[in-house]
Amino acid sequence: MSVITKTDASAKGILIVEDNSLLSLVYEMQIQKLGHHILANVTSGEMAIDAVKDLNPDLVIMDIYLDGDIDGIEAMEKIREFSRVPVIYISCNSDAYHSQRVRKTNYIDFLIKPVNNRKILHTLRRALN
């Protein structure tokens, strides 16, 4: 887990939970373009839970299919036991089963991969303002 601390008081701290390093880099660049900071970039649901506890992010960008034993939705269910942090899901799967599961986690948006840069920026602006 790489960790960066906040330096600008108006900047928000974002946790990226994505096991694809290329996509993670794309999200990171978009977030930085908006003037916000990446608090950590993790690849599993278990790491996401620990990162939210340790870093108290302003927003979580969450993939559903992750490394480890639990998926992104299960991770958010566990996070919801101690945090109301806003979450944006980004996944390649939008079937009824996953759509129903994410509804239980009180999310900001559910974006379907591949997501274009304009859509990511729009969703991030909405979530962070």
Q: What is the pLDDT of residues 13-37, one digit of tens each?
A: 999 999 999 999 999 998 998 899 9
pLDDT at 65: 94
What pLDDT score does 116 carry?
A: 83
- Amino acid 5: pLDDT: 44
For the stretch 36-61, pLDDT in tens is 999 999 999 999 999 999 999 999 99
Please give the single-letter amino acid code of residue 44: S
- pLDDT attached to residue 95: 86
Q: How far is residue 22 from each of residues 17, 26, 66, 93, 110, measured CA to CA in Å?
A: 12, 6, 14, 18, 20
Task: Give the integer Cα–Cα distance in Å for 83 and 108.
Answer: 15
Provide the mean pLDDT of the chain.
90
pLDDT given at position 9 = 67
Q: Which domains does the chain have, with CATH numbers?
A: 2-128 (3.40.50.2300)
Taking CA atoms, 75 is separated from 47, 81, 91, 95, in Å, by 9, 10, 14, 19
